[in-house]
Amino acid sequence: MGKRNLLYLSEVVAGPIDPAVLANTWSIYSASSIKEACEVASDSNFRVGLLVLNGGTSTPAAYEELILASPRTAWVAALPQEGLLRSDYRHLIGRGFFDFHTLPVNYPLLNAQLGHAFGMARLKDPIVPPEQCNSDYQIVGDSPVIQKTLRHIEKMATANAPVLIRGESGTGKELAARAVHHQSARRQQVFVTINCGALPSSLIQSELFGYERGAFTGANRRKIGRIEAANEGTLFLDEIGDLPLDLQANLLRFLEEQTIERIGGHESIQVDVRVVAATHVNLEKAVAEGRFREDLYYRLNVLNLTMPPLRDRIEDIEPLAQYYFDRFSNERNLSVKGFSHQATSIMRQHGWPGNVRELVNRVRRAMVMCERRLITPIELGLDHHTVRQTQSLHEARDSAEKDVIKTCLRQNNNNISITAKSLGVSRLTLYRLLDKHNLRE
């Protein structure tokens, strides 16, 4: 294993620690001021930092700013024994540091403390598929249903056909669209998004197709529309089910011919764009009711992806909560270290009607409001009134049956024959149960 990165801050030129002694184990970046340390702390490669509290001019409040600026870094303080008698230092270390080392320095012990801090910091990293490790568009989770979704995204990214993403509000449809773009051959080009449900119908046409100067009152200059702006990249049409019928015809023409005309213009403009659309609306029902064009539906629904609701991926709730706790840790009270057992338990019981968006909101609010070391159900705003109602006997049996099958499949490496034998059923019965619980690959 190569050297691990260490951010070292000592405001004293000839400090009590010689970084050269640690250089056999660590690749060290030495900073001489809090400002310099803050500038480099945002580098995610720094999982651990060593801060000397001996002879510097900065106040504990300034050091707290550094801790907040480096939420993914586990800090170890080095200070003389008498420094532990200062109440402001004791308060600072207790709130924001992983560990402390008393001077004079004991290098073997310090190395062990830094290594422990590094390992604990790494445990907070979310588990994501290798293909997403360099992506800003991580879909966090290790449940079978989300892993299946990620495999579908990877396959769809290699094609150039339109993608229709379905799912309830808050399930991460735009995140999935960005993941498709990021893993595609168009990843170096633009990703342009437009929310068809957020714009007035009078503006959608000009937003999508643009307009020429003088096309209407107030059109004092030419404007490039979102479709043209996305040339060679990806256009994400969010809430496509809310697109007015008259504009659906224009969009259909673009999809068929890959050309557009600006409002007030007469020139056909060739555009190379991949379209990804998303909706929480039942488009088949909308087609049957005449609210959505059937021909446009088939044009968009070439590749189909469904984002699962959070209640169907209970295993991912705790990793998701921890991921967003770390992501927004600069907003938290420094004394807040994580979630209590009661909090994680009630999060697994909650129905999450707002899905991941609701979870993010509750976690961020709890991080700000919590005055304890660990977040409890009170800060999350979850109690027995907000969790799911007791299951019916039929629902409980189905849930238990699904859990047993999933566990047995995992233990037998998804071998159908061995799993069926372990469960005491035939292969045919097992296939029927896999279909019933949506567990078949």
What's the confidence (pLDDT) of residue 100? Answer: 95
Q: Structurally, how many domains does the chain consist of? A: 4
CB 279 within 8 A of CB 164: yes
Same domain? For 156 and 288 the reply is yes
The enclosing domain of 33 has a CATH number of 3.40.50.2300
Same domain? For 416 and 430 the reply is yes
Burial of 382 (0-12, 13-18, 19+ CB in 10 A): buried
Same domain? For 67 and 161 the reply is no
What's the confidence (pLDDT) of residue 347? Answer: 93
Range of the domain at 146: 130-306
Q: Is position 388 within any domain?
A: no
Q: Is position 152 within any domain?
A: yes
What's the confidence (pLDDT) of residue 301? Answer: 94
Same domain? For 300 and 351 the reply is no
Same domain? For 118 and 196 the reply is no
Give the C-alpha distances (Å, rounded to integers) separating 428 from 403, 404, 421: 19, 17, 12
Give the C-alpha distances (Å, rounded to integers) separating 438 from 146, 155, 183, 396, 402: 12, 20, 26, 17, 9
Of 285, 306, 327, the domain-final residue: 306
pTM of the model: 0.62
The enclosing domain of 428 has a CATH number of 1.10.10
CA distance 151 to 172: 16
Q: Is position 250 within any domain?
A: yes
Same domain? For 376 and 397 the reply is no
AA letter at 421: K
The 8-class DSSP code of residue 313 comes to -
Same domain? For 179 and 37 the reply is no
Coil, helix or strand at residue 135: coil
Same domain? For 108 and 134 the reply is no
Average pLDDT of adjacent 10-residue blocks, the chain of 441 residues = 79 83 87 84 74 82 83 89 90 90 93 92 60 54 89 93 94 94 92 85 82 83 87 93 87 89 88 94 91 94 94 91 88 84 91 93 92 90 63 65 84 84 83 78 59
Nearest Cα to 79, choosing from 7, 17, 13, 5?
17
Retrieve residue 317's tokens: 């709730």
Same domain? For 175 and 279 the reply is yes
Of 89, 123, 157, the domain-final residue: 123
Of 279, 306, 333, the domain-final residue: 306
Same domain? For 141 and 286 the reply is yes
Using CA of residue 225, residue 226, residue 230, residue 231, what is the dihedral sign? negative
Residue 234 has phi, psi (to 5 degrees) of: -125, 135
Same domain? For 270 and 137 the reply is yes
Cβ contacts of 37-41, under 8 Å, gap ≥ 24 = 37/7, 37/9, 37/66, 37/70, 38/65, 38/66, 38/69, 38/70, 40/7, 41/7, 41/66, 41/69, 41/70, 41/73
Q: Is position 20 within any domain?
A: yes
What's the confidence (pLDDT) of residue 128? Answer: 45
What's the confidence (pLDDT) of residue 125? Answer: 61
Q: Is position 30 within any domain?
A: yes
CA distance 439 to 137: 26
Q: Is position 299 within any domain?
A: yes
The enclosing domain of 177 has a CATH number of 3.40.50.300
What's the confidence (pLDDT) of residue 236? Answer: 95
Q: Is position 387 within any domain?
A: no
Same domain? For 58 and 169 the reply is no
Chain length of the chain: 441
